[in-house]
C-alpha cells in the first residue's frame, strides 16, 4: 500500500506530534514507535512499519529528534548519536527495531523538537493526552 493511501486514514501531523511527545517522555527503543502507531488497529504490520519508518526519517531529517546507539538494553551506555547518513541503513534493518538488538537504538528529542511540541495545536495535544491515558481520542 502506498504511503499516501495510508495517510488518507491516519492523520500524519497528529502522528508526528505523537512520536515527538513519546520521544520527549523517553522511549525504550524504536519498537515503541510501532506501538504508538499500533493505535490504528486497521493497519497491517507492513503499514505500521511504513508509517513509523517514514515519520522517524522525517523527524530525524528535520532535526526534531536524534537517533542514539546504546550498548545495553537499559539505555545507560550510550555509544554515540547516529549520523544522518546512516539512518536509512539502520532503519532498514528489522533487528534495529527490536528491544533485544545489540547495539540498541533509541531517540532523544532536540530543542527544536521541544519547540515543535510547545507550538502544537492545543486540540491535538488534548487528543493525544486522551489517547495515551485512555487509549481513546480517534
pLDDT single digits (tens) 28-70: 889 999 989 988 889 999 999 999 999 999 999 999 999 999 9
**For residue 136, what pLDDT band results from cuts at 50, 70 and 90?**
low
**For residue 72, what pLDDT band results from cuts at 50, 70 and 90?**
confident
**For residue 5, what pLDDT band results from cuts at 50, 70 and 90?**
confident
H/E element, 36:
helix 31-37
Q: DSSP letters of 54-70?
A: HHHHHHHHTTSEEEEEE
107 closest CA partner among 69, 61, 138: 69
H/E element, 6:
helix 3-7
The mean pLDDT value of the chain amounts to 90
- Architecture of the 3-134 domain: Orthogonal Bundle (1.10)
- Residues 110-138: what's their mean pLDDT? 85
pTM: 0.88
Q: Which residues contact 137 (CB under 8 A, 6 or more apart)?
A: 126, 127, 128, 129, 130, 131
pLDDT in tens, 10-25: 999 999 999 999 999 9
Amino acid at each position: 500500500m502506498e504511503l499516501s493511501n495510508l495517510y488518507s486514514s491516519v492523520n500524519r501531523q497528529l502522528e508526528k506530534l505523537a512520536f515527538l511527545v513519546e520521544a520527549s517522555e523517553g522511549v525504550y527503543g524504536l519498537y515503541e514507535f510501532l506501538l504508538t502507531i499500533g493505535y490504528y488497529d486497521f493497519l497491517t504490520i507492513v503499514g505500521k512499519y511504513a508509517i513509523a519508518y517514514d515519520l522517524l526519517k522525517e523527524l530525524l531529517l528535520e532535526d526534531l529528534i536524534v537517533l542514539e546507539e546504546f550498548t545495553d538494553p537499559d539505555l545507560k551506555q550510550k555509544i554515540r548519536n547516529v549520523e544522518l547518513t546512516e539512518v536509512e541503513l539502520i532503519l532498514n534493518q528489522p533487528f534495529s527495531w527490536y528491544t533485544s538488538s545489540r547495539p540498541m537504538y533509541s531517540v532523544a528529542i532536540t530543542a527544536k523538537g521541544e519547540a515543535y511540541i510547545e507550538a502544537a495545536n492545543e486540540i491535538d495535544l488534548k487528543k493525544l493526552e486522551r489517547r495515551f491515558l485512555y487509549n481513546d481520542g480517534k
